[in-house]
Amino acid sequence: MQFLFQDHLLDTDRRELSREQVPIAVEPQVFDLVVHLMQNRDRVVSKDELIDKIWHGRSVSESTLTSRINAARKAIGDNGVSQSLIRTITRKGFRFVGDVQTQIGTVAPGPVRTSPPQAVFALPERPAIAVLPFTNMSGEAEQDYFSDGISEDIITALSKLRWFFVVARNSSFVYKGRAVHIHEVARELGVRYVVEGSVRRSGERVRISAQLNDVSTGSHLWAERYDRELADIFAVQDEITEAIVAAVEPQLYAAESFRAQQKPPGSLDAWDLVMRALSHYWRITREDNAAAQKLLEEAVAIDPAYGKALGLLATSHIFGAHMGWADMAATVPVAERAALAAVEADREDAWAHHGLAYTYLFRRRFDDALAEFELALRLNPNFAMAHAFHGVTLCYAGRWQDGDAAARRALRLSPRDPLAAIYCGVAAYARFVGHDYGGAVQMARESMRQRGDFVGAHRVLTAAAGMLGDPALAASALEGLRRTQPEVSLAWITRELPMLREEDRTHYLQGLRRAGMK
């Protein structure tokens, strides 16, 4: 028997209690107490009855009974003050008063296999992931279409990420309505990662919870909860799917980079090298960017037609020059060769087109850069990094409102992204171009809070402080900028940053000059 109440599922057959599919540790005695109260929720259960059923008539003190009642309340998210689920009836006993839906065994509408796949598959070479059908916590079978739709859309969107092996819908939906441990799912489907979640719809609101599990380590890599109004149910479905996929992708890369770091150097293949490179690239420092390039070059030496490696190599070269860590004139041709090779190797790879777009920006080929970014985003609409660098390009092209929207879209898609500091920095620059200096300072500070050495945020903070006429802030910001980019100057800004409109360049230089830069 399964009892569904609030965000919880209590399964008496498996003796499991979970909240939004996350298991809750419960002592056996406390579990039995909750079950008995639920099974008899139509009446008050006396203390004597509880002692007889739970302690089998053994002598139990009042304090022991009270302790177990408190533990039961805590396990199901209740307390002795609100008593919203387990209510004490003075001098009579206790009663479970929460709304409960019950189901015998499992809910399995439609054609569902009653037994799991019998074959056990070996893990493929690339990261393999399964998306389990999200649990409908509403207790209404007619709402299954919504929870199923969320799961199916996530599978479809993840399948567009060419570097992951995603189990097809028909295989993962075998587990619909079955209480099965994710280790069993992973073993039977041959995957390392499992996405699971739940959907609770109540009136005109819906709450969707999702989490990404690394089954090989038993760890939760990511979890989030989304609360939305259901003004347009399909728009909400699309929004939640987009948010989940955008959040899951960088977490998978982070997990894979950690796994690659545990391998001995001699055993690394091209994929492992790219994952190690990503872990350096995300740190946004001069030293880490150089380390990332070295690893990417090793990956390309192993596989010269590796589009992702080539695209990321082009990006890291241009990014380094953009930050002032390398000479732009010498860097652009190197990056362009890598980017063109990436696209030639794999025209359907979003990373390849991203690398070429970023290179075109510093060739001052704005139309070509924007076209390549748009192509990258058509190939992977949830590519948060591409949204952010698209935003940079839009700002340099004079379209700061669109640039601001692109940066904020990247942040909304992937707020826990390792590159979120860059996304905040782009938003800061957009606000500066739009003469919102207070907003620019706020976003630059948020960027620096996440990555103190991110040069781009230091530059925007200095320019915005200069335009605000705040001498103390300007002096502090300029000092921080010179510490992170010692060779920065007005001449460097004029020469290296590809601003299409002369008025934008003059505006930026004016802020930096007012802050004391020469």
What pLDDT digit, counting tens, does each position of 138-177 carry? 777 767 888 888 888 888 888 777 677 888 777 788 888 7
DSSP E strands in 90-159: the ranges are 93-96, 101-103, 128-131, 135-136
Q: What is the pLDDT of residues 361-409, one digit of tens each?
A: 999 999 999 999 999 999 888 888 999 999 999 999 999 999 999 999 9
For residue 36, the domain's CATH number is 1.10.10.10
How many domains in the chain? 4
Contact by Cβ (8 Å): 2, 12 = yes
Contact by Cβ (8 Å): 223, 210 = yes
What pTM value is reported for the model?
Answer: 0.66
Domain boundary among 48, 70, 103: 103
Contact by Cβ (8 Å): 182, 167 = no
Q: Residue 253 is inside which H or E element, if any? A: helix 233-261
pLDDT given at position 266: 63
Could you tell me if 390 and 517 lie in one domain?
yes
pLDDT given at position 114: 37
pLDDT given at position 108: 38
Specify the pairing of strand 2-5 against strand 205-214: unpaired
DSSP 447-458: HHHH-TT-HHHH
Could you tell me if 135 and 195 lie in one domain?
yes
Report yes or no on 205 lying in a domain.
Answer: yes
Could you tell me if 74 and 138 lie in one domain?
no
3-state helix, strand, coil in the chain (%, to 5): 55, 15, 30
- Segments forming the whole domain that contains residue 99: 2-103
Give CA–CA dist 46/53, Å, rounded. Answer: 11
Alpha helices in 11-91 (DSSP H): 28-39, 47-54, 62-75
Burial of 228 (0-12, 13-18, 19+ CB in 10 A): middle
370 φ/ψ angles, rounded to the nearest 5 degrees:
-65, -40
Contact by Cβ (8 Å): 57, 49 = no
pLDDT given at position 490: 97
Could you tell me if 188 and 142 lie in one domain?
yes
Could you tell me if 145 and 205 lie in one domain?
yes
Give CA–CA dist 3/31, Å, rounded. Answer: 13
Report yes or no on 300 lying in a domain.
Answer: yes
Report yes or no on 370 lying in a domain.
Answer: no
For residue 499, the domain's CATH number is 1.25.40.10
Could you tell me if 435 and 500 lie in one domain?
yes
Contact by Cβ (8 Å): 364, 505 = no
Residues of the chain with pLDDT under 50: 106-124
Closest CA to 382 of 410, 355, 358: 410
pLDDT given at position 86: 92
308 φ/ψ angles, rounded to the nearest 5 degrees:
-65, -45
Q: Which two tokens stand for residue 6?
A: 């609030």
Could you tell me if 393 and 442 lie in one domain?
yes
Q: How far apart are the first and last CA of the chain?
A: 75
Give CA–CA dist 195/267, Å, rounded. Answer: 29
Report yes or no on 400 lying in a domain.
Answer: yes
Q: What is the pLDDT of residues 28-38, one digit of tens each?
A: 788 889 999 99
pLDDT given at position 366: 96
Contact by Cβ (8 Å): 420, 394 = no
> Among all chains, which residue has been given the structure tokens 């300029």?
478
Domain boundary among 242, 277, 300: 242
Q: Residue 360 is inside which H or E element, if any? A: helix 350-362
pLDDT given at position 119: 41
pLDDT given at position 60: 72
Contact by Cβ (8 Å): 375, 363 = no
Report yes or no on 123 lying in a domain.
Answer: no
